Chains A and B, each alone.
Chain A
């Protein structure tokens, strides 16, 4: 059984790494300069990402706000990523939250200010054309990851940062399960499993914290967002499991150590659930899935990401179990040596 688990883990992790890094991001407009529009005629430079503008034969550009649309005139394609356009902005057109749509034969891409993904613009070049913005906001026609403002390529971290927490919770659950088993039966083998699983869970928790911190620095702008409930909850969880390790180290008597830490472990798991799963949902958090949103809505995880994310979670959990099993085997050998 262990052999199958190891082979599956390796396959899943290789798949995660390859698919997670190789599949392209969606094409998108990165930004525009100047970033605000004023009434009158003006020239705007726009930056395109992950596409080749020179391949686009019929480039058409629109600016829109709510249901109001004005066509823009593309001036020059400077290179593969940068082009300039000219806009005649009427006096009634608002200057904030204007979307910019680049349209060509196959697809339409977005953005200037607010991020909208448009599916249909009526073909005629007339102002006040009615546009259906709400439908198919996340629709797409290619096998790519979503290209989100701010996140960009770092969206791939979903396959590396998030599974750390899944692995931690899984191992913590196994640990609690065996703690209960130990408390019911008093078998030392169960205590060994509970102890080692909790330690490996702590490792994955710490990895989740450091990767999350790095990701937060370049998307949210800070290494540690002190206001974020989930961040602090995760840190508390790590501390709770640190306390578990310290508690085990501080009791000399083996049976007493197993009993006390077993009981503590049950509380630790409940605390972790409260800190990581319950409290962040009651308050606003920068993490998706908090402050009332469902975690895996269409906006956060599209079908391409799901195809890599679920195998990634299983792969990392497999790796966690593998490391834990090594430690468990080591502890068993130690125990046998001690008893012999």
Chain B
């Protein structure tokens, strides 16, 4: 839940920044080359989300493995 709060806050901040400075470098970058970097950005977001989820899953499995070892001994 903490992470989600961070993401929401980032978006709110980004919204504020871009409203003030319409033509900063990052914005220009996303508009360049026919907006292809928007697609790249979306793919990166999806990848980041899935990897984040897999890391969490990994941790859970690790915890379970530990539990199992404790159970046996």
Chain A: number of interface residues, binned into ranges: 35 or more
**Measured between alpha carbons, how far is A252 from B42 in the docked complex, in Å?**
38
**B71 on the A face (CB < 8 A):** yes
**Measured between alpha carbons, how far is A224 from B7 in the docked complex, in Å?**
14
- Interface flags for A276-312 (1: CB within 8 Å of B; 0: not) read 0000000000000000000000000000000000000
What count of chain B residues pass the 8 Å CB interface test?
A: 30
Query: What residues of chain A lie closer than 8 Å to B14, measured between beta carbons?
Result: 223
**B73 on the A face (CB < 8 A):** no
**A164 on the B face (CB < 8 A):** yes
Contact of B71 among A17, A327, A337 (CB under 8 A): A337
> When A164-B46, A210-B49, A217-B18 are in contact, do A223 and B11 touch as well, CB less than 8 Å?
yes
* Interface pair A218/B39, CB less than 8 Å apart: no
**Measured between alpha carbons, how far is A206 from B45 in the docked complex, in Å?**
10
- Interface flags for B7-45 (1: CB within 8 Å of A; 0: not) read 100010011001000000000001101111011011101
Query: What residues of chain B lie closer than 8 Å to A114, measured between beta carbons?
Result: none
**Measured between alpha carbons, how far is A21 from B37 in the docked complex, in Å?**
11
**Measured between alpha carbons, how far is A63 from B69 in the docked complex, in Å?**
78
**Measured between alpha carbons, how far is A334 from B68 in the docked complex, in Å?**
9
**A161 on the B face (CB < 8 A):** yes
* Interface pair A160/B35, CB less than 8 Å apart: no
A and B contact pairs by CB, cutoff 8 A, 14 listed: A153-B38, A154-B35, A203-B49, A203-B53, A207-B50, A210-B45, A211-B45, A218-B35, A223-B11, A224-B11, A319-B50, A323-B50, A327-B57, A330-B64
